[in-house]
Amino acid sequence: MAIHTQSHENLVLLIGHFHSLDEYGRERADMLDKAASVAFNCVIIYESDEASYGRYESESLKGGRRVTGRLKDTEHKLTVDLPAEMNDVIHDMMPDDEFQTTLIIEKWDTVYERFGAVAATEESTIRVIDQPKTDALEEGRAEDVPSDSSLNETADNQAPAEHAQQPDTNPVDDQSQQPTPAIHNTGSEAASIGATS
């Protein structure tokens, strides 16, 4: 299945809204289901890593490392399973190092209260950021958060490796087919979820 790529800011908005939902309600599970069709190109602050024991169809993820960290400029914790080809890079990381990667949110860990993610593609790589840079991640520019239609229609016309670096868009071709958006921006540029059926 083709994956549509969104920005670091979008993931921050999505996670922030996730935390505002009822912990025991169905809305959180629905949100995770839809988010599984979206990849996020984001910056993570490294804390630690360990062997990844997940059962993956992808050979590249077998023998890889599971990095624990947090999203840059937030306190949102997460783990991300990365390909084995990245093991040497991860081995050289120190706490508070920043790295950029593209990931897919898979689950919410209620015990550790953090998200579990996996590298978006077999070819996914990570880029260690040597020094902080002033870029779109630090300008406070909120992108469109993926709508219900963009999450459900997930760009069958796109291939993740070919489009991972394209600007974020909110590809809504036909709003009439998805009258109740699950995730959208308000005037204050905060993520929200529409009423569920």
Q: What b/e readout covers 163-193, taking b as 16+ CB neighbours within 10 angstroms? A: ebeeebebebeeeeebeebbbbbeeeeebeb
The pLDDT mean for the chain works out to: 73
DSSP 142: P
Does the domain at residues 4-136+143-162+179-192 carry the CATH identifier 2.40.50.140? Answer: yes
CB 114 within 8 A of CB 77: yes
Task: State residue 146's pLDDT score.
Answer: 53
Q: How confident is the model at residue 120 (pLDDT cuts 50, 70, 90)?
A: confident
H helix runs in the chain, sequence order: 8-20, 26-35, 87-91, 148-153, 160-163
pLDDT digits (tens, 9 = 90+) for 3-54: 788 999 999 999 999 999 998 889 999 999 999 889 999 999 999 999 987 6
Task: State residue 41's pLDDT score.
Answer: 94
Comparison of pLDDT for 54 and 108, the residue scoring more: 108
pLDDT digits (tens, 9 = 90+) for 70-105: 999 999 999 999 988 899 999 999 999 999 999 999
Euclidean distance between CA atoms 176 and 78, whole angstroms? 35
**Domain ranges across the chain:** 4-136+143-162+179-192
CB 57 within 8 A of CB 64: no
Task: State residue 131's pLDDT score.
Answer: 52
Amino acid letter at 99?
A: F
Give every CB contact of residue 96 below 8 A, 6+ residues apart in sequence.
45, 46
Rounded to whole angstroms, what are the CA distances from 143 to 7, 10, 184? 7, 6, 10
